[in-house]
Amino acid sequence: MVSPLVFWIVAGITIIAALAVVNLTNLIHSALWLIVAFVGVAITYLILEAEFLAAVQIIVYAGAIAILIVFGVMLTRRGDIRESNLFNNYRLAGGLISLGLMATIVTMVVKTQWAIDVAAVPANSVGLLAQNLLGQFVIPFEIAAMLLLVALVGAIIIAKEVRD
Amino acid sequence: MENLFVNISGALRGWFTGMGLPPMAVEAIMALVFLVAILAFVLLNVVYLVYLERKLSAYMQQRLGPNRVGPRGLFQTLLDVLKLFGKEDIIPNAADRWVFRLAAILVMVPAIMAFAVVPFGQGMIAVDLNIGIFYFVAVSSTATIAFLMAGWGSNNKWALLGGMRTVAQMVSYELPMVLSLLGVVMLAGSLRISDIMAAQKTVWFVVLQPVAFLIYLVASTAELNRQPFDLPEGEQELTAGPFTEYSGMRYALFFLAEYTNMIAVSAIAATLFLGGPQGPWLPSWLWFVIKVYVMIGIYMWFRWTFPRIRMDHLLAFNWKFLVPLSLANVLVTGIGLEIYKWFQTIRW
Amino acid sequence: MSLADDKFLRTEELTLNMGPQHPSTHGVYRAILTLDGEYIKGMENVIGYLHRGMEKLAEARTYPQFIPYPDRLDYAAGMLNELGYVQAVEKLMGIEVPERAEYIRIIMAELQRMASHMVMLGSYALDLGGYTPWMYFFRDREKILDLFEMASGARMTPCYMRIGGVAEDLPPEFLPQLRKFMDSMPASFEEYDNIVTGNEIFIARTKGVGVLPVEKLLSYGVTGPNLRAAGVDYDLRKVAPYGIYDRFEFDVPVYENGDCFDRFVIRIAEMKQSLRILEQAIKDLPEGPIKAKVPRVIKPPKGEVYHQIEGSKGVLGYYVVSDETNKPYRLHIHGPSFINLGALPDMCMDLTLQDVIATIASIDFILGEVDR
Amino acid sequence: MDKHMSLDEVIAGLQAKYPEQLEVVEDSLQPAVRVKSDILLKVMQELKEEYGLDFLADLTAVDLGDEGFRAINHVMSWKPYRMLRVEVDVPKNRPRVPSLTDLWAAANVQEREAFDMFGIIYEGHPKLTRILLSDNFEGYPLRKDFKITSRRK
Amino acid sequence: MVTLNHYLILAAILFCIGFYGAVAKKNAVAVLMGIELMLNSVNINLVAFNRFLNPGEMTGHIFALMVIVVAAAEVAVGLALILNIYRQRLTTDVNDLDWLKW
């Protein structure tokens, strides 16, 4: 078990990064902080002994973030990049709602009694994951694959230049 | 000789434990020791890789190469590094300062991190993760961001174009690279580096997976941004791509990262396809270094032979050729594995 | 604005200043590019950074004093530029050049043509990112420059031609050295083929890139290898032989597509023809004087002449107006690079940024000649 | 019309058509005609389209001192090789010549250069700006009355 | 000692920040970022539940993987939509996307 200190540090960094993502007005900086948040989440997975997921988190989100930045650059070159990520009129309402939501979830979480299982994580967790994915969960797996394919095709069709 | 470094590390560990430190502290110190050892190995190699690159290119181009500083120019790179230290560190006024500064440092992080799973010899892996090779893939995929940060942070159109190209190139070549590694993983039946090494006791995977090896070679050249895939940098087109505005040590860091990445990628190739640190007569770590240098030699040979490919050709080559080929390779490997299993059942 | 009347795609264009300080502009040349992504939607040449007022300078120099100046025009082809100038003056004065001098001029001109082509070929490969071919071409160019040094004392700016002949006779070790160079070339040609023209990436990057229809090329006044690569058989050495070019047997290589690849390989083919001319020139090289009898002070009769020669980059013309003094009244230099560069924006339209680099290098201009 | 006729025939043909505005330059080393600027475009178009002299070899100008400028155009054909000089006298106080850019794209840069050096205005040129000299350069350096200001103080 | 509650609360905080971003931001790309944060917090929940309630099986991990796949698909399509909208309207401001026909 990893020291609790690591968790506190990682959790703190992740939350700060997430706040920065939302509050900064430069889209690129937001995207860069988003990477920090994602890496924080990946380390959280590591603490939870989910190495495979941690690696997936990094590989999927790091690539996606780069693309996000590119989009940010492409789509905001027209104006001032420092003002590219402003708030809309729902800032106050959104803030209040999310605070309320958080309060609700936290109270719910604290009040619930969980049936904690103290067993250790199996050594060959990756192998187990693979067997599960291609055994018991093969249909969701295939559907996910199909979904990705459809999303790929759909994205290409939508983003394709419209010529008349 | 064989266990030289393993013994050193064992002795260190014993020494630290003997000092009465708690096990966790010993682990932390040992991790630090490994890190320092890897850094030392990498930096030393990079300095002489630059020298090797220059000498090799000189021989290919019928020149002499560096031959003034020290015997046969051996100290040329050291002096170059010193010179870069002495240079003014220029940050453009309009640059995004923190992004600009951080990019030069961040570019080194994935390069160094990848070495955590590199087996420098028998029993010489810093961390033998059970997702070993996947860890390498994940870490190296983050390198894109540093390039993009450099390109964007410089506030320079050439740099931005270079950064955009980097994203397009590295994200798309990631795919065939991972898929080519998949063939090896299927044969070994594990992501763990030591398992993959053990699976190559008799036959190297380059024999069983020649197509995967070639795909890996091409895709990793693209990942390294080296000729013929050095479009992000493309001196003749984008002056220096994302590095256009960098100077002094920050520029040197990008260079350092490029060569560090080259060692890492070569090390992974040597591990996955060339049997890793295994071979007769010589100590395992020496074998490993030899194999890594063979791979590095190939990359350098590429660089000094090919002209630069064009952006649209680059992407078309990836999506229309490499990716389908690597998918087919995975398929063929799977079928081959099944046939092999079936043969084994009927033999018994 | 309603959406209905603006249906077509809107994308943003990026204006990019390529140069004056850029690795691929071959000197201080600037192109203002309008990019849509990586595609060129507009291009404008900005030149003049190297302007030295050579035509004005000529009006303050005597005729022989001007001979070193053409060297600095197209500094990759000094001999050819001088040849054009001295022949123009000779034409104006009606001077007959001795046989031996004519042959030496041919030798120098063809060597210079090869050297100039090697610069282009080498830097072209370099501009496409191939470092090694560049060294191969420059290795061979070095041998030519050594020959020039032997004959004239200088490598790039020889100042070797004189009105009425050449400055010095060939030194005795010149011809054996030239022989050696010529014997070494066939192997070099094979190497060029192996490392550049046979390379898949090179072919993919140059085939079909930077093409202009022939009519447009002619309208732009493009000459030299760039025009011949597009299938037009115009070579002044054949069409209107100057000097003694009518005595030599050689072919004019003509290609069909006029793309960057053809512009590249046609120069290699021309080098082979230059070798043929050299071969014959060495064989027939007569003994005799190397300089005609010219008056001590050169004062051409009143008149004007426009003289053209086939330079390495196209037709190089000198328009000389004399007012019977010892200085030209007006000297106009028609540099092929200047004219060829005019066609560049049209060639680059709708190509990618990388193709622009390839096209710029393929039309082979030297800024010294563009700006004068 | 025969596009390969000899230069003498070309000149004769032109002279017959424009007896007033065109004269043949005597005692010239190379064949040359001098035309008035109002028929320049027509003559050039005929040379290009009817007589086959369809390649603009060179375009420049000469300062004749007090008499004004002379715009010099060389047109040529390659096969057979013929070259004809077409001169236009331009008055000093009103240096205007019709532009040849519609006939030959090659005229574009060369006319800009002549404008840059002599200040001759080519009417109908799409973008007649300085090309070699900097935009804020004063004067036209190839004019004979141009004084070079000393750089040393 | 770090318990399940810690992870759940961390996830809750991340989720609310993401929600705030998704609701209160002008730029469509930023809205996507907020949604990504929310999806990530859900994944933390899934993995934490898996680790603390049923470490012997990988169900939570598999759910998390599915979420990542869906998130990837969503980002791809979302970005394509944003790109296309930008081409039509030259804006990525969600407030401006109030027209009902293309």
* A74 contacts on C by Cβ (under 8 Å): 12
pLDDT tens-digit map of B177-197: 888 888 888 888 888 888 888
Question: Is E89 part of a structural domain of the chain?
Answer: yes
Average of pLDDT values for C331-345?
87
User: Taking CB atoms and an 8 Å cut-off, how many pairs form between chains C and D?
Assistant: 87
Q: Which residue of C has its CA nearest to A162?
A: C9
Average of pLDDT values for D36-43?
83
Q: Are residues A36 and A110 in the same domain?
A: yes
CA–centroid distance for C72 within its chain: 13
pLDDT tens-digit map of C249-294: 888 888 888 888 888 889 889 989 999 898 888 888 888 888 888 8
Half-sphere exposure of B333 (CA within 13 A, CB side): 25
Q: Are residues A71 and A103 in the same domain?
A: yes
Handedness of CA C212, D75, C318, C107 (dihedral sign): positive
Average of pLDDT values for B96-101?
83
pLDDT tier at B256, thresholds 50, 70, 90: confident
**Exposure of B134 by Cβ count < 10 A (0-12 exposed, 13-18 middle, 19+ buried)?**
buried
Judged against a pLDDT cut of 50, whether residue C7 lies above it is answered with no
Q: Do E88 and C3 touch (CB under 8 A)?
A: yes
- Neighboring chains of A (3 or more beta-carbon pairs < 8 A): B, C, E
Q: Are residues A104 and A124 in the same domain?
A: no
Question: Is E44 part of a structural domain of the chain?
Answer: yes
CATH of the domain at A89: 1.20.120.1200
pLDDT tens-digit map of C91-148: 888 888 888 888 888 888 899 999 999 988 888 888 887 788 888 888 889 899 998 8
Q: Do B141 and A29 touch (CB under 8 A)?
A: no
Q: Do C10 and E99 touch (CB under 8 A)?
A: no
Q: Are residues A129 and A63 in the same domain?
A: no
**Do residues E46 and E58 make contact, with C-beta atoms less than 8 angstroms apart?**
no
Structure tokens at C70: 């053409």
pLDDT of residue C355: 84
Domain assignment of residue B164, given as a range: 89-347
Question: Is B328 part of a structural domain of the chain?
Answer: yes
Structure tokens at D15: 């002279």
Q: Are residues A106 and A25 in the same domain?
A: yes
Domain count, chain B: 1
pLDDT tier at B270, thresholds 50, 70, 90: confident
Question: Is B220 part of a structural domain of the chain?
Answer: yes
Question: Is B221 part of a structural domain of the chain?
Answer: yes
- The amino acid that residue D142 corresponds to is L
pLDDT of residue C4: 38
Question: Is B154 part of a structural domain of the chain?
Answer: yes
Question: Is E80 part of a structural domain of the chain?
Answer: yes
B302 at C interface, C-beta within 8 A: no
Of D58, D105, D109, the CB nearest to C219: D105
Judged against a pLDDT cut of 70, whether residue C11 lies above it is answered with no
**Do residues C72 and C51 make contact, with C-beta atoms less than 8 angstroms apart?**
no
Q: Are residues A97 and A140 in the same domain?
A: no
Which residue, chain included where needed, has tokens 């789509």?
Answer: A75
Q: Reduced to 3 states, what is the DSSP secondary structure of residue C282?
A: helix
Average of pLDDT values for E39-68?
85
Q: Are residues A120 and A130 in the same domain?
A: yes
Q: Are residues A128 and A75 in the same domain?
A: no
Q: Do B130 and A55 touch (CB under 8 A)?
A: no
Structure tokens at B330: 């995975």
* B141 contacts on A by Cβ (under 8 Å): 58-59, 62-63
User: Do chains B and D touch, with touching meaning 3 or more CB–CB pairs less than 8 Å apart?
Assistant: no
**Do residues B187 and B209 make contact, with C-beta atoms less than 8 angstroms apart?**
yes
Question: Is B217 part of a structural domain of the chain?
Answer: yes
Q: Are residues A108 and A139 in the same domain?
A: no
Distance from CA of B164 to the nearest CA of A (A): 7
Domain count, chain A: 2
Question: Is E102 part of a structural domain of the chain?
Answer: no
- Pick from C235, C245, C307, C319 the residue to mutate for testing the D interface (most D CBs within 10 Å): C319
Domain count, chain E: 1
pLDDT tens-digit map of B289-303: 888 888 898 888 888
Average pLDDT over chain B reads 83
Q: Which DSSP string do the residues of B9-51 spell out, in sequence order?
A: HHHHHHHHHHTT--HHHHHHHHHHHHHHHHHHHHHHHHHHHHH
Q: Are residues A145 and A71 in the same domain?
A: no
Domain assignment of residue E39, given as a range: 4-96
For the stretch A89-95, contacts whose Cβ atoms lie closer than 8 Å and that sit 24 or more positions apart, written own/partner, are A89/E95, A90/E23, A90/E24, A91/E24, A93/E23, A93/E24, A94/E19, A94/E20, A94/E23, A94/E24, A95/E20, A95/E24
Angle at D25 between CA D19 and CA D31, to 5 degrees: 105
Provide the edge-to-edge strand list for the sheet that holds C315-322.
C303-310, C315-322, C330-334
User: Do chains E and D touch, with touching meaning 3 or more CB–CB pairs less than 8 Å apart?
Assistant: no
pLDDT tier at C8, thresholds 50, 70, 90: very low
* C-alpha to C-alpha distance for A14 and A12, rounded to whole angstroms: 5
Q: Are residues A23 and A52 in the same domain?
A: yes
Judged against a pLDDT cut of 80, whether residue A78 lies above it is answered with no
Distance from CA of A15 to the nearest CA of B (A): 20
* C-alpha to C-alpha distance for C26 and C46, rounded to whole angstroms: 13
CATH of the domain at E83: 1.10.287.3510
Number of neighbouring beta carbons within 10 Å of residue C170:
19
Average of pLDDT values for B152-159?
81
Average of pLDDT values for B121-131?
75
Distance from CA of C50 to the nearest CA of D (A): 8
Domain assignment of residue A162, given as a range: 115-164
Q: Are residues A48 and A106 in the same domain?
A: yes
Q: Do C24 and B62 touch (CB under 8 A)?
A: no
